Chains A and B, each alone.
Chain A
Amino acid sequence: MQKIWQSKKASSFDLDALMHGLRLTEKKQRKERIAIAIIGPITFVFLIFVLPLQESNLVLITPFLIGLAMAWVAWLSFKSKLLSSEDSLSLSNRQYVETQLRKLQHRYRIAEKYMYFYGLLLIIAVNLAYFVFLAPLPENIRWAIHLGVSLMIILLIHFIIKSRLKNYDKTLKPLMQHLQQLLLEAKQA
């Protein structure tokens, strides 16, 4: 049986083309990582630069809150990668399945819970800035704009979360069920 199985060979594989492609991909990924790393600070500096800080120090809280929210979500999204790295691939199959399952559940949690909190921080930050900008306007107009902007952010965040969860249900859920099944079989061992 082993002889029959091992008679199957892989051949005619262009390894050089693969390695060339991999090197290009690595270069591209490096550039993307650099871009992601600098976009956050650039946004922060840009906000500080364009906001009329001379009008009120309250406006200063806005870029800090937005920066904090962005950094928090970035940390939530990348912490598993930063902490466990791709090393998990070389774990035993059982440990790997457990790790992957935890990572997938974490992604679900980010979409289900943490994103709403991110939206709340965004609403506070934007409303603080508007509070200063809209000061010359009549009170009822100010209220209407505050409510309108807040509602818009809530709807936008809600729509993003729902569409992400719908996507996860299609892609992540079957994979999670598959991993749970594997884990169950391993635990029965």
Chain B
Amino acid sequence: MKTKRDVEFERIFLTYKDQIYRLSISFAQDKELANDLFQEILIRIWSNLEQFKGDSEMGTWIYRIAYNTAVTFSSKEKKRLDQNTGIEPSMEFREPENHSFEIEERFRLLYQAIGELSDSDRIFATLFLEGTSYKTVSEITGISENYVAVKINRIKSLLTKKLNPSPHGK
């Protein structure tokens, strides 16, 4: 029988899995590591779920756990994960069948551009790409809302330039 925690975790998974996955691929160098990070974030959410007191929005809480896990994730964690959970590392992330080549190519360019950012900037970039409000970004990162706005605008123009390179730099 499913416990209250199981039901809540499933709900969180269904709501946030895509965001967590995208965050994972932006922080990991390859698909295998991204899957490991994705799994690690889910494990941390599961382990901490009973400590969620509702002081912040659930989304903010999830993002905090996800980003905090991502910045300290390493291959050492991967090894520990394999040893401790006994979970088969065969989970796959298939692309939806209607995913067009053009979108995939644009995504690849975006992914590449994000990969060139520092970890700190990557946090802002991915939160911006998820459409997160400045207030929430400020709560997640611990940086003032004003600076978040400055930082995101800077990253936005940087990414736009990388995605649409023109001879005049527009």
Contacts and interface: CB of A to CB of B under 8 A. Distances in A.
A24 B74 CA distance: 24
B64 A90 contact: yes
Contacts of A21: 85-87
Residue among A10, A87, A89, A171 with the most chain B CB within 10 A? Answer: A10
A17 B72 contact: no
Nearest to A8: B22
B143 A189 contact: yes
A173 to B, nearest CB: 12
Main secondary structure of the interface of B (DSSP, over half): helix
A12 B91 contact: yes
Contacts of B144: 189
Contacts of B121: 185
Interface string A14-46: 110111011011000000000000000000000
Interface residues of A, number: 45
Interface of B: 6, 9-10, 13, 17-18, 20-22, 25, 38-39, 42-44, 46-48, 51-52, 56, 61, 64-65, 67-69, 71-72, 74, 76, 84-88, 91-96, 99, 103, 106-107, 110, 118-121, 123, 126, 128-131, 139-144, 147, 151, 156, 159-160, 163
Please name the 8 residue pairs, one residue from A and one from B, whose CB atoms are nearest each other, closest first. Answer: A92-B142, A94-B142, A10-B21, A21-B87, A5-B129, A185-B120, A96-B68, A21-B85
Interface of A: 1-2, 4-15, 17-19, 21-22, 24-25, 85-97, 100, 171, 174-175, 178-179, 181-182, 185-186, 189
